[in-house]
Amino acid sequence: MASKTAAKDIITLRGSAAIVSEFFGVVWYSILYNRAVYPEESFARVKKYGLPMLLTKDEGVKSFISNLNAQLSEWLEAGKLQRVVLVIMSMNTGEVLERWNFSIETDNEVVEKGVSREKSDKEIMREIQAIMRQIASSITYLPCLDEQCVFDVLAYTDTDVAVPFTWMESSDAKLIANPQMVKLHSFDTKIHKVNTLVSYKNDEEELDDEE
């Protein structure tokens, strides 16, 4: 972090992990708000990345996400995190309706040798802004979630990672059968590259089944 603040264009592993975990800290709330997992009134407006963002006021969700991001940041600094998936499921049936897939490509040379990279902060900000805008506009093509939903977060890590106390290994990756997939923009800090993809249950099959 110190190197990130000292010279804007030089990015270290820790700085990049901080940027990515900060991004995750905002993107979870954005998705929860846009997909109406929690009611609109439980969100407060703040400014982030030059855009108006909505953060939840629910302390439980806040603490859950802050603990989650703390662990993700740790894994990012170790270069052990491969993917993070936000799963939206039906509360009644437990069926997986959407999967927000954030795959992370880490520069192993930086992790092993501790070298730094150069990239403009403004450019990274611009890339993150594009992703946020795309998430906000995703409601135009994603199917409506009429029933009450809950969310869960899955972290895909290396097999040699020690499972923390509040985590557990899950054999169920909570996949969707025959999903529709939409690839969104990605952002790159030159150390961590985050690709975004949303897969959702194919609404047309339901309509065909109903017909």
Partner 1 sequence: MMLRTPVPKRARPIEPAPIIESPPTGSDHHRQLAIYEDPPSADPARREPSHEPLQQSEHMLCTYQCRQMVKADFLDALSNAEKQVQDYQSQLAELSDNFRKADEERKTFREKLSYAEQELAAAKGREQALHDQLLKEVNDSHERLKKELESSAKLQTKLENEQNLRKKAESTAASAEDKARELEAKLGHISQSIEKEKKQLNNELVHLKRDSKFSISKITVDLEKMEFRAQSSEKEVELLRKQQEDLQSKFSQCLHQKSELEKKLTSLSFEDDSPKESDILVKHLQEELRNYESEVREARKLKSAHENIELIKEKLLEEKSRRERAELQLPKLHEYEFKINELEDELSAWKLMIQDIPGVSCRDDIRLRISALQKEVIDNLKKLGDVNAHLKQMEVILDKTQLDKQKTETEAVLAKEKADRLEAEVKRMNVMLSAVSEERNVLKTAIEDFKSKNEQAGGNASSSIMQIQELGSSILEREPYIKELEGDLFAQKEINAHQRDEIKSLHDRLNSEARRVKSLERENDRLRSEIFLLESKIGHGDFSAANTKVLRMVNTLAVGNDAKQTIEALQSELQRTKEKLQALEEYKSQSGNSGKMVDSYMSGKVAQLKEQIATLEKREERYKTVFADRISVFRRACCELFGYKIVMDERQRPNGIPVTRFTLQSIYAMNDDEKLEFEYESGNTNIVENSYTSTSEISQQVDIFVRKMNSIPAFTANLTVESFNRRTLS
| Residues making contact with partner 1 (CB under 8 A) | 60-61, 63-64, 67-68, 71, 82-83, 101, 150, 152-159, 161, 163, 165-173, 175-179, 181, 199
Least Å from the CB of residue 91 to partner 1: 8
Least Å from the CB of residue 47 to partner 1: 26
Q: How far apart are CA 43 and CA 74, in angstroms?
A: 27
Residue 197 three-state SS: strand
* Residue with smaller CB distance to partner 1, 18 or 131: 18
* Residue with smaller CB distance to partner 1, 49 or 98: 98
If 0-12 CB within 10 Å is exposed, 13-18 middle and 19+ buried, where does residue 56 land? buried
Least Å from the CB of residue 82 to partner 1: 6
* Residue with smaller CB distance to partner 1, 130 or 197: 197
Residues 62, 21, 153, 134, Cα dihedral to 10°: 100
Classify each residue of 168-185 as buried b or exposed e, where b means 16 or more C-beta atoms within 10 Å of its C-beta. eeeeeeeebeebbeeebb
* Residue with smaller CB distance to partner 1, 93 or 178: 178
